[in-house]
C-alpha cells in the first residue's frame, strides 16, 4: 500500500520538522535535490489588528455569485472587517458528488473558477475592488485531495495514494481510519512533481489574480516540509497571510502559517453556553495556548463558521449566549472571525451540499459587530497576539463572571461578562481605575443580567 507522508498525531515525532524546516527542491534525473532552510516571514503589518470575514459565496445570495458579493463589498467594508476569506471558488467534482451541488472542497481544477459562481475575470474584479476599499482577500485552499474527475487523476495517477491498485479517499491522521470523504481522492505528498504542481497553482492566484494569502484546509493532513516549500515560493511573489485549519502543530508557525484555528476555543464556548465549562476553564485554555505556540503565533477565534453552522447548528447551541461570547471572542488575544450572515443574526443553519440562502433581514447585529471591530482597530491593547496585550484575570468575587484586563501603553480594555443564564453580582478590585464604558448589555449597579456584559475602554 503506497501512502503519502501524512501527519499521524499518534506518531507525530516521526513527522515534525525542526524550528527552521528543511525545504527540498525535488530531485530530477538531470538535477540533484537542493536543500536549504526556510523560516516563514513575519505576519504582514496589515493583519496585526485585523478582523477576518468568511464569505460563503454560494449561499450569500439568491444568485450565489461573485458578482453579488462584489456589489456588497462597501457594506462589508463598513462593517469594519479587514480580511475576506472566500470559501473555495473552484469547479466542483461531479463524479461521486454529494448532494445536488457537491462539496466546495471537491476540486476539479485548482486554476479555475466554478462557473456557477462566475468567471476568473469576475474574481479578479472583486479582488481589485476589495483592494481599493482597503480590504485583503484570502482564498480557501484544498491541498490534501481533489475531485475524482480532476484531470490529475488520469494524467498523473502516481500523484495519488493507493490501497493495492485503487486510489483512496483521505484517511484521518488522528486514527488512520477513513474520513468518510468519499467524494474526494487523496493526494500523495511523497511525489515531488505533485508538490510542484500544487505550488504552481498556489502561486498563480497570488501572482496573476492578486490575492493576499490562503486559508489552508486540513493543513495538518499535509507534511509540514511542504508548507515550508510553498511558503518560500509564495513569499517570493509578495508577503502573504497564511491561515492553517489546524491546531496541533506548533511547527506550522515556523514553516508557513501566521494564524491557526482555535478549535479548542470552539469547544470551550460551547461548554460555557450550556454550563459544562466555567470561567476557570477559560483561563486554563488561555494558559495552554500561550505555552503551546511560538510567541508570534496568532489564533483565530469564532462563535461560528461554515463547519459549525452547517454541521453543528452553533447559532442554536449558543442560543442567548451568542452576543456575550462574541464580546469575549473580540476582546480575547487572537483574531476574531465573522461568518457571512452572522451580522444578520444567523438564526438557522446553511445546507452544505445543496443550495441554501442567508436570510439577511435587517442586518440586526451590524452595529454590534461594527462597534467591536472599531474597538479592535483603535485600541492597541486588542492587537492580535504579540501585537496586543496578554489578558490579565481580574478577581471579581464571582466564579460565573469572566473579567479580563488588557493594557498596552496608554491603551486599556476591561471586559466583564456574565457567563450564566442567571443574574450575577460582581465587584472589580478595589482601587482599580477603570476607563469609560464602551459597550454594554444587561448591566446594573454591580450586577449583570443573564449573559450580560460590559466593555470599558480607554479613549
The DSSP result for 34-97, as a single string, is EEEE--PPPPPGGGTT--EEEE-HHHHSSS--HHHHHHTHHHHHHHT--EEEEPP-S-B--TT-
Instruction: Please state, in angstroms and rounded to a whole number, the distance separating the CA atoms of residues 423 and 92.
Output: 49
What's the pLDDT score for residue 25? 53
Mean per-residue pLDDT for 317-333? Answer: 93
What's the pLDDT score for residue 27? 54
In the chain, DSSP finds a helix count (H) and a strand count (E) of 14, 20
Residues 6+ apart with CB under 8 A from 180: none
Is residue 212 pLDDT above 70, yes or no?
yes
Domains of the chain: 9-390 (3.20.20.80), 401-457 (2.60.40.1180)
Helix 224-235 vs helix 192-204: crossing angle, to nearest 10: 40
What's the pLDDT score for residue 11? 31
Mean per-residue pLDDT for 314-342? Answer: 91
Instruction: Please state, in angstroms and rounded to a whole number, the distance separating the CA atoms of residues 413 and 210.
Output: 36
Instruction: Please state, in angstroms and rounded to a whole number, the distance separating the CA atoms of residues 290 and 284.
Output: 10
Which of 162-166, 281-285, 318-322 tops mean pLDDT?
Answer: 281-285
What's the pLDDT score for residue 4? 46
Mean per-residue pLDDT for 251-269? Answer: 95
Tell me which H or E stretch contains 199. helix 192-204
Query: Considering only 11-15, 160-164, 265-269, 441-445, which range has the smallest mean pLDDT?
Result: 11-15
Closest CA to 265 of 244, 241, 284: 284
What's the pLDDT score for residue 361? 86
CA distances from 281 to 264, 275, 425 (A): 11, 11, 20
Residue bearing the bigger pLDDT, 174 or 450:
450
Query: Considering only 21-35, 40-54, 116-130, 329-343, which range has the smallest mean pLDDT?
Result: 21-35
Judge whether 79 and 338 are in contact, CB under 8 Å: yes
Residue with cell 476553564: 281
Instruction: Please state, in angstroms and rounded to a whole number, the distance separating the CA atoms of residues 324 and 417.
Output: 7
Phi/psi zone of residue 255: left (φ > 0), alpha (ψ -120 to 50 degrees), beta?
alpha
What's the pLDDT score for residue 33? 42
Residues 6+ apart with CB under 8 A from 31: none
What does 407-424 look like in DSSP terms, one character per residue? Answer: EETTEEEEEEEE-SSS-E
CB under 8 A, 24+ apart: contacts of 392-396 = 393/283, 394/428, 394/429, 394/432, 395/429, 396/426, 396/427, 396/428, 396/429
Residue bearing the bigger pLDDT, 351 or 146:
146
Closest CA to 284 of 296, 300, 267: 267
pLDDT tens for residues 357-385?
Answer: 998 989 999 999 999 999 999 999 999 99
pLDDT band, residue 2 (cuts 50/70/90): very low
Percent of all residues in the chain with a pLDDT value above 70, rounded to a whole number = 91
Rounded to 5 degrees, what are φ and ψ at 453? -155, 160
Instruction: Please state, in angstroms and rounded to a whole number, the distance separating the CA atoms of residues 367 and 278.
Output: 29
pLDDT band, residue 18 (cuts 50/70/90): very low
pLDDT tens for residues 68-119?
Answer: 999 999 999 999 999 999 999 999 999 999 999 999 999 999 999 999 999 9
What's the pLDDT score for residue 24? 54
Mean per-residue pLDDT for 399-417? Answer: 98
Q: Would you say the pTM of this structure is higher than 0.85?
A: yes
Mean pLDDT computed over every residue of the chain: 91
Instruction: Please state, in angstroms and rounded to a whole number, the distance separating the CA atoms of residues 238 and 276.
Output: 45
Instruction: Please state, in angstroms and rounded to a whole number, the distance separating the CA atoms of residues 437 and 454.
Output: 7
Instruction: Please state, in angstroms and rounded to a whole number, the distance separating the CA atoms of residues 147 and 97.
Output: 9
The set of cell numbers assigned to 19 is 524550528
Amino acid at each position: 500500500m503506497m501512502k503519502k507522508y501524512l501527519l499521524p498525531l499518534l506518531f507525530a515525532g516521526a513527522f515534525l520538522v525542526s524550528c527552521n524546516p528543511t525545504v527540498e527542491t525535488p530531485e530530477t534525473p538531470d538535477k540533484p535535490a537542493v536543500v536549504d532552510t526556510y523560516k516563514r516571514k513575519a505576519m504582514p503589518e496589515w493583519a496585526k489588528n485585523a478582523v477576518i470575514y468568511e464569505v460563503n459565496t454560494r449561499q450569500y445570495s439568491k444568485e450565489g455569485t461573485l458578482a453579488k458579493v462584489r456589489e456588497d463589498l462597501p457594506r462589508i467594508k463598513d462593517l469594519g472587517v479587514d480580511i475576506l476569506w472566500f470559501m473555495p471558488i473552484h469547479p466542483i467534482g461531479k463524479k461521486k458528488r454529494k448532494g445536488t451541488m457537491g462539496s466546495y472542497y471537491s476540486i476539479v481544477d485548482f486554476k479555475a473558477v466554478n462557473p456557477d459562481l462566475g468567471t476568473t475575470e469576475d474574481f479578479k474584479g472583486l479582488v481589485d475592488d476589495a483592494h481599493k476599499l482597503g480590504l485583503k482577500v484570502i482564498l480557501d485552499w484544498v491541498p490534501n485531495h481533489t475531485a475524482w474527475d480532476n484531470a490529475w487523476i488520469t494524467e498523473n495517477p502516481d500523484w495519488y495514494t493507493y490501497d493495492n491498485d485503487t486510489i483512496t479517499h483521505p484517511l484521518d491522521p488522528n486514527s488512520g481510519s477513513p474520513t468518510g470523504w468519499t467524494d474526494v481522492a487523496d493526494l500523495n505528498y511523497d511525489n515531488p512533481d505533485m508538490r510542484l504542481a500544487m505550488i504552481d497553482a498556489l502561486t498563480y492566484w497570488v501572482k496573476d489574480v492578486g490575492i493576499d494569502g490562503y486559508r489552508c484546509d486540513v493543513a495538518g493532513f499535509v507534511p509540514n516540509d511542504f508548507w515550508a516549500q510553498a511558503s518560500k515560493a509564495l513569499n517570493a511573489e509578495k508577503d502573504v497571510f497564511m491561515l492553517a485549519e489546524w491546531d496541533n502543530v506548533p511547527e506550522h508557525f515556523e514553516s508557513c502559517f501566521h494564524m491557526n484555528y482555535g478549535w479548542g476555543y470552539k469547544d470551550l464556548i460551547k461548554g460555557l453556553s450550556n454550563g459544562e465549562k466555567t470561567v476557570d476553564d477559560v483561563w486554563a485554555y488561555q494558559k495552554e495556548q500561550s505555552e503551546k505556540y511560538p510567541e508570534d503565533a496568532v489564533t483565530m477565534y469564532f462563535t461560528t463558521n461554515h463547519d459549525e453552522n452547517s454541521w453543528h447548528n452553533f447559532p442554536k447551541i449558543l442560543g442567548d449566549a451568542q452576543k456575550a461570547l462574541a464580546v469575549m471572542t473580540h476582546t480575547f488575544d487572537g483574531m476574531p472571525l465573522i461568518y457571512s450572515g452572522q451580522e444578520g443574526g444567523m438564526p438557522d443553519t446553511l445546507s452544505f451540499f445543496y443550495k441554501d440562502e442567508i436570510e439577511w433581514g435587517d442586518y440586526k447585529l451590524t452595529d454590534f459587530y461594527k462597534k467591536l471591530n472599531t474597538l479592535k482597530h483603535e485600541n492597541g491593547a486588542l492587537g492580535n497576539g504579540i501585537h496586543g496585550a496578554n489578558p490579565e484575570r481580574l478577581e471579581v468575587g464571582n466564579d460565573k463572571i469572566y473579567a479580563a484586563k488588557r493594557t498596552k501603553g496608554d491603551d486599556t480594555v476591561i471586559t466583564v461578562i456574565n457567563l450564566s443564564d442567571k443574574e450575577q453580582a460582581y465587584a472589580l478590585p478595589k482601587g482599580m481605575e477603570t476607563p469609560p464604558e464602551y459597550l454594554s448589555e444587561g448591566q446594573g449597579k454591580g450586577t449583570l443580567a443573564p449573559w450580560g456584559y460590559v466593555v470599558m475602554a480607554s479613549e
